[in-house]
Amino acid sequence: QVQLVESGGGLVQAGGSLRLSCAASGRAFSTYTMGWFRQAPGKEREFVAAITWSGVNTYYPDSVKGRFTISRDNAKKTVYLQMNSLKPEDTAVYYCAAGQGLGGRRDYESTYSYNYWGQGTQVTVSS
């Protein structure tokens, strides 16, 4: 069992930056692939970033590649999402998620691959 708590959301102007954190409790955090997803009003939850258990491999969709960076600190049981050059279309509730046994990009991008979810943190980017 893993519990996830996100923090770091807020209101920022376009072009600004935010750093989201996701603190995990429970055992074996270092064995989980961690992902970030977001959901805007009236839209489906979409993939934002993923990082493998070792931190060696990361994955991003084209919409955030080059602007967002996912990282993790297994000793602190925390995963981060550094978001730079934010755009109004990045406005959403951001969720972190944990999963095991993922293999391949299709797994990383699917909400069905993740067993545990945080409650979400709101990010609002003003124009």
Pairing of strands 121-126, 10-13: parallel
Amino acid in position 107:
D
Q: Tokens 């209101």 label which residue?
A: 11
Residue 103 pLDDT > 90:
no
Q: Is 126 helix (H, G, I), strand (E, B) or coil?
A: strand
Question: What is the per-residue pLDDT across 39-57, written as a single tens digit (0 to 9) for each?
Answer: 999 999 999 999 999 989 9
Burial of 121 (0-12, 13-18, 19+ CB in 10 A): buried
Question: What is the per-residue pLDDT across 53-97, written as a single tens digit (0 to 9) for each?
Answer: 998 999 999 999 999 999 999 999 999 999 999 999 999 999 999
Q: Is 40 helix (H, G, I), strand (E, B) or coil?
A: coil
d(CA 99, CA 4): 12
- pLDDT at position 26 is 86
